[in-house]
Amino acid sequence: MGIFERYLTVWVGLAMILGVVLGSVMPGVFQLIAGFEYASVNLVIAVLIWLMIYPMMVNVDFGSLAQVGRRPKGLCITLVVNWLIKPFTMAALGVLFFEVLFRDWVDPTMAREYIAGMILLGVAPCTAMVFVWSQLVKGDANYTLVQVSVNDIIMVFAFAPIAAWLLGVADVVVPWNTLLLSVLLYVVTPLAAGWATRTWLEKHAGRAGKDTADAVAAFTAKVKPLSVMGLVATVVLLFALQAETLLSKPGVIVLIAIPLLIQSYGIFAIAYGWAWAWRVPFNTAAPAALIGTSNFFELAVAVAISLFGLNSGAALATVVGVLVEVPVMLSLVALANRTRARFDARAGITDTL
């Protein structure tokens, strides 16, 4: 890992602090940035998120889909947790906390927006950062790639319908055109660009007599600074735009963080416990659980801004998702690594998958 991945919590934390400081000192500048919109999509955020996602999409190998039948239990856990459990538990927790438990502390209109932001986080399984989490637990890189590739393809078709249905259940009016445009911008386009780039790299590597994996690795290493810049700049911008709320209503941040934390640790427990019960080897089980736990917060943030606006409660909820994501995932990585020996010993009782 490079210095960025190794000290990810530090960089994200510094970006958050810088964003709040700049947003407090220069609010007019960031309001000007907020005005650069087309069809309810902020163009600056769109460019930054695209830069952040594209380098990771180059790693998605559609050829790996031929290996879907290899070790099917790990893939089954990932897909069931991501698409049949996680979105609905997130929506249920949002409704439970903001319409029941926190009802007397939060404005009803804002409560619905907070729930909407949480739903968008729950419907967006991790795509980019999962490679970092998998590397930290020394997971099977090829199998992680299979899991991510399958998830991304499902996301193209499932994200908008599930998000729209759950938002409708939460009594939020969803403009379908904006939601579909967001999926096109933040999932389909970078995925297509990543596929085109990878195809070109494969052909170029073949003519040069080089290994495709080496060519892809070399290319992603060159463009990694774009992803880093996109992530840091996005976090700075989001926290700058929410600076007033973050400083004036710290209690709201805590209220939003509580169900997000319960969701994260609960989903990990479900996926990891399921893998334990099925005797899945650690290098498959750990990434499967981490993929289900982590969120594609870049997509959630972008869609929340597109649907509800930069200063909305939904956008704030997704920003809080960014706030809790890194420390939570690092704590789960540490927990997983401490149980590695037990998982491998248990998986060795029967034939490996």
Residues 57-93 pLDDT 10s: 787 767 666 665 667 888 889 889 999 999 999 999 9
User: Higher pLDDT residue, 347 or 196?
Assistant: 196
Cα separation, 323 vs 9, whole angstroms: 10
One-letter amino acid of 8: L
| Rounded average pLDDT over 174-196 | 73
pLDDT for 151 beyond 70: yes
* 69 DSSP 8-state letter: T
Report DSSP letters for 203-267, one per residue.
Answer: HHHHHHT--HHHHHHHHHHHHHHHHHHHHHHHHHHHHHHTHHHHHH-HHHHHHHHHHHHHHHHHH
pLDDT digits (tens, 9 = 90+) for 294-328: 887 767 877 787 778 777 888 888 888 877 887 88
Q: What is the pLDDT of residue 306?
A: 74
pTM, whole model, 2 decimals?
0.74
pLDDT for 222 beyond 90: no
Q: What is the dihedral of CA 61, 66, 71, 74, to 10 degrees?
A: 50
The ranges assigned to domains in the chain are 3-347
Cα separation, 185 vs 51, whole angstroms: 12
Structure tokens at 154: 């499902």
pLDDT for 122 beyond 80: yes
| Residue of 66, 54, 222, 47 lying closest to 127 (CA atoms) | 54
Q: What is the pLDDT of residue 352?
A: 42
pLDDT for 128 beyond 70: no
Cα separation, 77 vs 134, whole angstroms: 16
Report DSSP letters for 252-311, one per residue.
Answer: HHHHHHHHHHHHHHHHHHHHHHHHHHTT--HHHHHHHHHHHHSB-HHHHHHHHHHHH-TT
182 falls in which pLDDT band (50, 70, 90)? low
Q: What is the pLDDT of residue 173?
A: 60
Q: What is the pLDDT of residue 85?
A: 94
One-letter amino acid of 16: M
Q: Tokens 């209109």 map to which residue?
A: 109
| Residue of 54, 157, 130, 187 lying closest to 332 (CA atoms) | 130
Exposure b/e, 39-53, CB count within 10 A at least 16 = b: ebbbebbbebbbbbb
Q: What is the pLDDT of residue 154?
A: 83
| Rounded average pLDDT over 172-197 | 73
Calculate the average pLDDT of the chain.
80
Which range of 121-125, 162-166, 267-271 scores highest in mean pLDDT? It is 267-271
Q: What is the pLDDT of residue 353?
A: 41
Q: Output phi, psi for 127, to 5 deg.
A: -120, -50
Q: What is the pLDDT of residue 118?
A: 93
Which range of 25-29, 83-87, 161-165 scores highest in mean pLDDT? It is 83-87
Query: Domain 3-347: which topology?
Result: Na+/H+ antiporter like fold (1.20.1530)
Mean pLDDT lowest for which of 157-161, 235-239, 345-349?
A: 345-349
Containing H/E element for 124?
none
Q: What is the pLDDT of residue 87?
A: 93
127 falls in which pLDDT band (50, 70, 90)? low
176 falls in which pLDDT band (50, 70, 90)? low
pLDDT digits (tens, 9 = 90+) for 223-282: 877 777 777 887 788 788 778 777 877 788 889 999 999 999 999 999 999 999 988 888
pLDDT for 98 beyond 90: yes
Mean pLDDT lowest for which of 17-26, 89-98, 340-349?
A: 340-349
Cα separation, 135 vs 110, whole angstroms: 38
pLDDT for 208 beyond 80: no
| Residue 172 falls in which region: left (phi positive, over 0), alpha (psi -120 to 50) or beta | beta
Q: What percent of the chain has pLDDT over 70?
A: 83
Structure tokens at 224: 């990694």
Cα separation, 275 vs 286, whole angstroms: 8
One-letter amino acid of 338: R
How much helix, strand and coil, in percent to the nearest 5, is found in the chain? 80, 0, 15
Start-to-end CA distance of the chain, whole Å, equals 28
| Rounded average pLDDT over 186-209 | 81
| Residue of 329, 235, 254, 298 lying closest to 12 (CA atoms) | 235
User: 125 - beta bridge partners?
Assistant: 295
Q: What is the pLDDT of residue 227?
A: 74
pLDDT for 177 beyond 80: no
